[in-house]
Amino acid sequence: MKEFVCQMLKKMFRDTQSLDELAFFRKITLFHGLHDRQLRRVLQAMQKRQYYEGETIFEEGRAGQSVFVIRSGGVELSRRASHDKAKVLARLGPGQIFGEMALLDHQPRTATARVAEDGEIYLLDATALESLMRRDPDIGVDIMKNIAIVLSALLRKANEELDKGN
């Protein structure tokens, strides 16, 4: 009986943890439009990793093949400016994504991502996404549409910044 109760408690904990994770990822722009079943498939394809302050996640100029989702902690994106001095482009926190361009073009990274605050970060690599898309093309359609929305918003923001500079 005691063993049964322990197994039930473990299952309940896993289910609660899974529901928490699902609720968090349902709010992420990249996954808007996905049904719970589809989102669960995406979560199974993602890797979860603990990152520590000062750690480099990826470097500008290196090949990129993954998008990242910050579950907790913080990340700073920077770009080399003149004389190899880094210019901070953005500070990101929980619920934000970065590295999304790598899923589209597999080109070198345009910035460096460093951990500004210890935390948990999920990553989805292009190979895992392509595999998901073969099994369920609707997942790919929604994610690619959402990437386009994210990139469009970033481009509009960059245009506004350029306009302010004139």
**Tens-digit pLDDT profile for the chain (166 aa)?**
667 654 644 554 455 557 889 999 999 999 999 999 999 999 999 999 999 999 999 999 999 999 999 999 999 999 987 777 888 999 999 999 999 988 888 889 999 999 999 999 999 999 999 999 999 999 999 999 999 999 888 889 888 888 887 5
**CATH code linked to domain 2-165:** 2.60.120.10
Angle (CA) 74 87 78, round 5°:
40
Query: Rounded to whole angstroms, how far apart are CA atoms 49 and 70?
Result: 10
Q: What's the number of CA atoms in the CB half-sphere (13 Å) around residue 53?
A: 4
Query: Rounded to whole angstroms, how far apart are CA atoms 28 and 116?
Result: 21
Cβ-count burial of 2 within 10 angstroms (0-12 exposed, 13-18 middle, 19+ buried)? exposed
